[in-house]
Chain A
Amino acid sequence: MGKDRENGTAPGLTRRHALECMVWAGTGVLWTVSGGVPRSLNLLDAAEAAEISQGATTFLQISDSHIGFDKEKQVTAVDTLTEAIDKVKALSVKPAFMIHTGDITHLSKNGEFDDAARIIGSTGLDVAYVPGEHDLIDPGQGKAYLARYGKGTLGAGWHAFDHGGVHFIGLVNVVDLKAGGLGNLGAEQLAWLKKDLEGRSASTPIVVFAHIPLWSVYPKWGWGTDDAAQALALLKRFGSVTVLNGHIHQIVQKVEGNMTFHTARSTAFPQPRPGTAEKPGPMIVPADQLRSMLGLTSVDFTVGKERLAITDTTLA
């Protein structure tokens, strides 16, 4: 996150504003794929964003909308998702589509799914979903999610598609979690992934998205995926791999070789930085601070260029 901010520092941006930005980090991530590796941009830095966006395709990531969460005193998760979606509608560069990296709902209730679909649907954009663990706790343990978002997917909802020369893979790592374990992809999904990647040119930019981080952010709080290493091994030969996750309600970014890992903010509530609290429970913060901790992510990509540009925006 600190890196994002440094990259986004523009002339005229005062220290005070920079600090406000940091407080606000939490609404969503705007991603630009330029030549296969993502770059995070500060949305406030409109000039730079516009430059990056020249000839690029942009898609938007939202995450952890947790419709049904009602522990914040002044706003509901419906309010903050609506604000996030209003930001999407106001973007100067219209994204090609959106991805939602899970925890659409808090309790997998029909009314929660309905509210989310209504608010997100108001953008008129196509949305590619993967479930979070909160989306699979209906009595049918995932039937409600699959009834809405399972079309064209396999297993618990994993799927792949191509857009603008980039291959997108939505993975599900929130099913069949084991006692004491982390996120879980499972043998069946890994076999499917292997098959999906076989024969694909190593120069194809790959974007992988899943709910729980596919690298160890903080295993003590369950912020990692037990068998992610097997998936990452399959992706290693590709020249550009971008891994987008949610679940931890804050931005954490890591670059390792050709792989860029990035987690998005929640649109509903923030969670503490790893190890800064006893437990990872929701942070209930004053309303004037909350919006600085929620956000969106945008990504631009231009095939043939080296990096995807990632832009995180808060709701503030």
Chain B
Amino acid sequence: MCATRPNPVLTALAATLAVFLFDPSAPASAKEMRVTISNFTFEPQTTTIARGETVRFVNSDDMVHVVVATDGSFRSEALDTGDSFTAAFTKPGSFTYFCGLHPFMKGTIVVK
């Protein structure tokens, strides 16, 4: 019977936790680095992360881009303005990637 009505204190607490956990500006336990696509450029050009971390590619350009790993290990769908794509890196090494539509756009992820 009491389960049908959510406890307001618990709800508020859950909401706070949710904001804390998913606020993209807050440091999360599984670290996510950001690469911004702007004016036909990946920024930063080289991103260094630790094993197991992820990279989110965010397209803030007014053109469509596609993020493609040079070794073929990942490929985003078409990213229009505001779209993003996340790739996880579990092995150490240096991974180059480029834009499948504008291949002169290149970047590197270094996994320590």
Contacts and interface: CB of A to CB of B under 8 A. Distances in A.
Interface residues of B, number: 23
A181 B97 CA distance: 13
Interface string B91-112: 0000011101111101000000
B88 interface: no
B61 A281 contact: yes
A278 B63 CA distance: 14
B55 interface: no
Interface string A173-184: 000011111100
A262 interface: no
A139 B66 CA distance: 12
A234 to B, nearest CB: 25
Interface of A: 71, 106-108, 133-134, 137, 139, 177-182, 220-222, 278-282, 284
Nearest to A174: B101
15 contacts: A71-B62, A107-B80, A137-B66, A137-B77, A137-B78, A137-B100, A139-B77, A179-B70, A179-B106, A180-B98, A222-B104, A279-B39, A279-B40, A281-B62, A281-B63
Contact of A106 (B39, B41, B61, B64): B64
Contact of B103 (A137, A179, A278): A179
A138 to B, nearest CB: 8
A74 B104 CA distance: 31
Contact of A179 (B61, B81, B96): B96
Q: Is the interface of B mostly helix, strand, loop or mixed?
A: loop
Given A139-B77, A180-B104, 20 more contacts: A106-B64, A108-B78, A134-B64, A137-B78, A137-B101, A177-B100, A179-B96, A179-B98, A180-B98, A180-B103, A180-B106, A181-B103, A182-B103, A221-B104, A222-B102, A278-B39, A280-B102, A281-B39, A281-B61, A284-B62
A178 B80 CA distance: 21
A193 B26 CA distance: 56
Interface of B: 39-41, 61-64, 66, 68, 70, 77-78, 80-81, 96-98, 100-104, 106
Q: Is the interface of A mostly helix, strand, loop or mixed?
A: loop
A107 B81 CA distance: 11
A228 to B, nearest CB: 15
A71 B64 CA distance: 11
A280 B81 CA distance: 16
A139 B96 CA distance: 22
A195 B64 CA distance: 36
Nearest to B38: A279
B8 to A, nearest CB: 43
A117 B41 CA distance: 33
A69 to B, nearest CB: 9
A282 B62 contact: yes
A133 B78 CA distance: 11
A177 B106 CA distance: 13
A281 B40 contact: yes
A7 B56 CA distance: 52
Contacts of A279: 39-41
B101 A134 contact: yes
B38 to A, nearest CB: 9
Nearest to B100: A177
A139 B39 CA distance: 25
A179 B102 CA distance: 9
Contacts of B39: 278-279, 281
A220 B78 contact: no
A133 B98 contact: no
Contacts of A182: 103
A115 to B, nearest CB: 16
Contacts of A221: 104
A179 B69 CA distance: 9
